[in-house]
Amino acid sequence: MYCICCKKYKVTPNNQFDESASEEDLLWKNEEVKIDDVAKKSTINNQMVNDGIIHIIDAGYGSTHDGDRIILAICDECIKENLEDGTLLYFGNYMFSDETFINESIDKSKKIYRRRKNLDNLTK
């Protein structure tokens, strides 16, 4: 899939568990699966992805796209660059529980965001 930032074809769904599935099949996958007897949706949001992030985002109330669900991709290189300049903001980590590292990363992201926003306000 094309990265939303650099516009290059860099991010791909990993089809190691379903080698017959095409990229399109994996991107628009929307199946109900049972995990520990609990029904869950299987989408690109919970699939493995190579070299970046692919995620479905939901447009909330107030957008001209209210209710739309959009598939976005961003490559690892652009994630790194955009975290460093405050375009992307670090929110946390759902896989690891090193609270010190996570909190430091959140604080760093907030600091970069504030600095960028204040500089933008000064140059208006």
Q: Does residue 33 carry a pLDDT above 90?
A: no
pLDDT tens figures, 58-88? 998 999 999 999 999 999 999 999 999 999 9
- pLDDT band of residue 35 (cuts 50, 70, 90) is confident
The Cα 68–Cα 21 span in angstroms is: 25
Tokens of 63: 């957008």
Phi, psi angle pair for 37, to nearest 5°: 65, 15
- pLDDT band of residue 117 (cuts 50, 70, 90) is very high
- pLDDT band of residue 54 (cuts 50, 70, 90) is very high
The percentage of the chain sitting over the pLDDT mark of 90, rounded to a whole number, equals 77
The Cα 112–Cα 106 span in angstroms is: 10
Q: Are 52 and 75 in contact (CB under 8 A)?
A: yes
pLDDT of 16: 82
Tokens of 96: 């690891």
Q: Does residue 124 carry a pLDDT above 80?
A: no
